[in-house]
Structure 1
Amino acid sequence: MSLSRSESRQKEKAQRDNRRRRAFSLSLIAAGSIILLTGVGITVNQTGLTDWFGGGAKSGSGQTADGSNRNDADAGGAGSIAVTETPDAGEATPAPEPTDNGDASPPSSMPEEEPVDGEAEERVSLSFVGDMLPGEYIADIMAQNGYDFPYQKALLYLSEPDLMVGNLELPITTRGTPVEGTPYVYKGSPETLPAMRDAGFDVMSLANNHALDQGLEGMRDTMKHLTDAGIGFMGVGENDKEAFAPLIRETKGVKVAFIGVSEVIPFAGMKADSNVPGIAETYETTRAVASIKSATDEADIVVVMVHWGEDGKDTPENYQKNMARAYIDAGADLVIGSHPHVLQGFERYKGKWIAYSLGNFVYASNPSGAHGETGVLDAVCGPEGDCELKFNPMQVIQSQPTPLEGDLAVALLSRLSSISIGAEVRSDGSIVQQ
């Protein structure tokens, strides 16, 4: 599977962060110098400036006045104007980029990454959305406005994380034979994928009840087109070994494993088995648990994407709770649900987070009521799998997930808090255990 485009996008993000850090560092140094020199009321010549900033120490020595080392991510000493680019691995959290109005703190969808034990611990940002249906109900809108149209209002939230993940709710194919005996059968064009990739999406789960809407031919085409677009996938395969295999992505030196499973499969013959192509199922947890345990040996963080629940119901069924806890007991660090087409709440179990359903994201043009409530879930995670969560509330308007502000945002977050289990969703979107 080609990773070149995804890896290139990660490199571009890192380079952008480095540029932000350098510009902000120079601004701070210049401002600090003016303040210090103004405060002491002196005129400093070149020799005096050298003495002021370190008693003749070499520029870029990286040492404090007492000789101790600075953070490795700082390439220059306190008096150094030349700031070299930091390495991608082990970077400290980037400084905010100044906005057009001079404010050095642009809006960010991510929870703040805090240092651990006095040092900047490497943490990765993962973001998730619910069901993605780039076709069918919004095909005409995309044909008129472009395939990137659904992502335009939410682009900041999609392009910012290290890894952006969703649930692809339809086959991507120009061929296939529509399955019979189910009420809804979908199909999407391969032309939709470049816009999805360029919006920021890195990974798609295919473990859902629509993966075989166009038969095995449609499933295989989907796998091929995603690969060609540089988008990773999991949850289907030529046999159960492939379908349950984790997709592993590495970012900032941290390996993240994604496992896709579905408790909603129209026909038993669609379940992947030994020498049988199809979908990774979780009607019971044996094979999912085995996959999770295996993934813990390969990755630092394990994410389970699961398709489950009752359509239109905003609270999880008991079996969802039991399965989620079984996944975490097996080693999962995050459990992210889809299928009900509405938002469900959150739960923290043994220090790990469960998002029972993230609702619809790119799905219909103007879904009504709870079906139009959506958002982007951010998780900033350490290599030990400890994650901080934040939900960015949105409403789908003309097929575009549109960020909510003010009272509308607070109202949606408050409702999510009321349906969560032992967890509170605060007015800023942060999710904490009660």
Structure 2
Amino acid sequence: MRRAPLGTAAVAVLLLTAVAGCGGPTPPGGDGTTATAPAGESAGGTSSAVPGNGGAEASAGASAASSAGAGVITVAFAGDVHFEGRTASRLTAPTAETAFGPIAKTLAAADLAVLNLETAITGRGKPEPKTYTFRTGPKALTALKDAGVDVLSQANNHAVDFGADGLADTLAAKANSPIPLIGIGRDAAEAFAPHIATVHGTKVAVLAASQVDDLTNQKWRAGEHKAGIASAFDEKSLLHAVTEAKAQAPVVLVYLHWGEEGVACPTAAQKAIAKKLAAAGATAVVGTHAHTMVGAGMLGNTYVAYGFGNFLWYGTSNYTASDETGVTTLTITADGRVTGETFTPAHIDGRGVPVPQTGSAAQAAQKRRDGLRGCTGLAAVPN
């Protein structure tokens, strides 16, 4: 969210790559700590007060509800994040730089910033029988907060990479996290529960689910009495969650893990669920998983972004344009209308850090990104 200039806390640089299964080799270990059974949150969702609601943070940002009008907010989105491989050591290395480097300023400038944390938060557990498994420790959550992130989705195919013990630790980390984690929980009610925040007097609900049909979605899907991730294949629960969220907040943001790896056009399954979520009242339906950017635009009154690509990743990939990324910032009115979109292009460097592009490189990145809309059936965003 919009906040005072970031300090010089020791935080991490993350990385990106696009490889099959969202992954890379299982790390030799994590910096996580062994956790006990999670304290958890209310199944009814989480809530917080952010600038403009008269709460503890009001003085930090209430003076500028928005230049566009009372209740108008900005929401920044970015893609997949890991603290693995070439970036894992950044969690302990002393540095004056935030986890994301200079582009963190773009996230922090928005009233709300949301991305996907694609990893278990644990130092325990047995790796799941899959090609790639990821984990990190609770320090990652503080690093992400310091880098301007306000909400994290863990509804993805790597949140439960280390079995029941890893899931227990992840839920314990969620219960004690400095920023909200959505899309995962002790049961389906908690996994589908939105985080609700009041921003400049406007209520915003953010929820998440995974549409990736893989081992995690098959084995670790949250149920009535089962911990796990929120699954988009449980359409009834997902659509009900959006409808319920809409009854509480005029702005409803749905962050999905979806799409086909390496493919820059949306799948039929993506288009189908986007239409249903739009009909249920979603203000925006966005997400990641393809390891490359996919087109974005308007589906009626609903903003849809089919893929933000990698953001901070651990290695390299042969997927086309997997090192192209950026931050998408939406302007949204108090009644839930998207009235503008700004894209801040970035290029993932050799450290795995998304470095903002400038000049002709930025113009070329913007043109390519806009061109991705051609196969989506979406309309341009009003600006």
Counterpart-to-counterpart distance in 1, 2:152 and 2:96: 17
- Structure 2 counterpart of 1:371, one-letter code: S
Matched, 1:393 2:312: no
Instruction: Give the TM-score, by structure 2 length.
Output: 0.79
Q: 1:367: Cα distance to partner? A: 5.5
Q: Distance in 1 between matches of 2:101 and 2:166?
A: 28
The letter for the 2-side match of 1:234 is I
Q: Out of 338, 360, 379, which is 1:407 matched to? A: 360
- Alpha-carbon displacement from aligned partner over 1:221-244 (angstroms, at most 9, x marks no partner): 223324423110111112211211
Change (3 A) 1:5 1:280: closer
Match of 2:182 in 1: 234
SS, match of residue 370 in structure 1: coil
Deviations 1:350-369 (CA, angstroms, capped at 9, x unpaired): 12110001111111356665
- Are residues 4 and 324 of structure 1, via their aligned partners in 2, closer, same or farther at CA, if it must alter by over 3 Å? closer
Partner of 1:132 in structure 2?
81
Aligned partner of 1:179: which letter?
E
Distance 2:51 2:269 in 1: 40
Match of 2:71, SS state, is: coil
> Closer, same or farther in 2 for the Cα pair 1:241/1:372, shift >3 Å?
same
Counterpart selection for 2:209 from 258, 261, 266:
261
Closer, same or farther: CA 13–407 of 1 in aligned 2, 3 Å: farther
Alignment root-mean-square deviation, CA = 2.8
Percent identity over the alignment? 30
Match of 2:99, SS state, is: helix
- Contact map agreement 2:51 2:59 (CA 8 A) in 1: no
Deviation at 1:137, TM superposition (A): 4.2
Q: If the length of structure 1 is used for normalisation, what is the TM-score?
A: 0.70
Q: How far 1:412 sits from its partner (Å)?
A: 1.3
The residue aligned with 1:273 is: 223
Aligned length: 332
Once the two structures are superposed, what CA deviation does each residue of 1:141-193 show, in whole Å capped at 9, x if it has no partner? 5544549553122121121111111111001112222112x111111122222
The structure-2 alpha-carbon separation of the partners of 1:227 and 1:376, relative to structure 1 and needing over 3 Å to count, comes to: farther
Output the CA distance in 2 between the equivalents of 1:365 and 1:15: 41
Instruction: Kindly indicate which of the two structures has a greater share of residues assigned to helix.
Output: 1
**Secondary structure of the equivalent of 2:176?**
helix
- Pair 147,135 (structure 1): closer, same or farther in 2 beyond 3 Å: farther
Which of 366, 373, 383 lines up with 2:324 in the alignment?
373
Larger relative CO (CA 8 A, sep 6+): 1 or 2? 2
Distance 2:181 2:165 in 1: 17
Q: Which residue of 2 aligns with 1:359?
A: 309
Output the CA distance in 1 between the equivalents of 2:162 and 2:120. 7
8 Å Cα contact 2:52-2:65 kept in structure 1: no
Q: CA deviation at 1:247?
A: 1.6
Return 238-247 or 361-370, whichever deviates more.
361-370
Letter aligned with residue 406 of structure 1: G
* Structure 2 residue 252 is the aligned partner of structure 1 residue 302: yes
Partner of 1:73: none
Structure 2: runs of 5 or more not aligned: 1-40
2-side partners of 1:259 and 1:415: how far apart? 29
User: Mind listing any 5+ residue stretches in structure 1 that lack a counterpart?
Assistant: 18-87, 94-112, 115-119, 426-430
Q: Would you say 1:316 and 2:269 are equivalent positions?
A: no
What does the per-residue CA deviation read over 1:20-78, in whole Å, with 9 as the maximum and x for residues that have no partner?
Answer: xxxxxxxxxxxxxxxxxxxxxxxxxxxxxxxxxxxxxxxxxxxxxxxxxxxxxxxxxxx
Distance in structure 1 (CA, Å) of the matches to 2:162 and 2:97: 24
Query: Using the alignment, how far apart are the partners of 2:91 and 2:317 within structure 1?
Result: 16
Q: 1:243 to 1:141 in 2, by over 3 A?
A: closer
SS in 2 for 1:150: coil
Q: Map 1:35-434 onto structure 2 (within 5 A).
A: 88=62, 91-93=64-66, 113-114=67-68, 120-144=69-93, 146=95, 149-180=98-129, 182-264=130-212, 265-267=214-216, 268-283=218-233, 285-364=235-314, 369-387=320-338, 388-397=340-349, 398-420=351-373, 421=376, 431-432=381-382
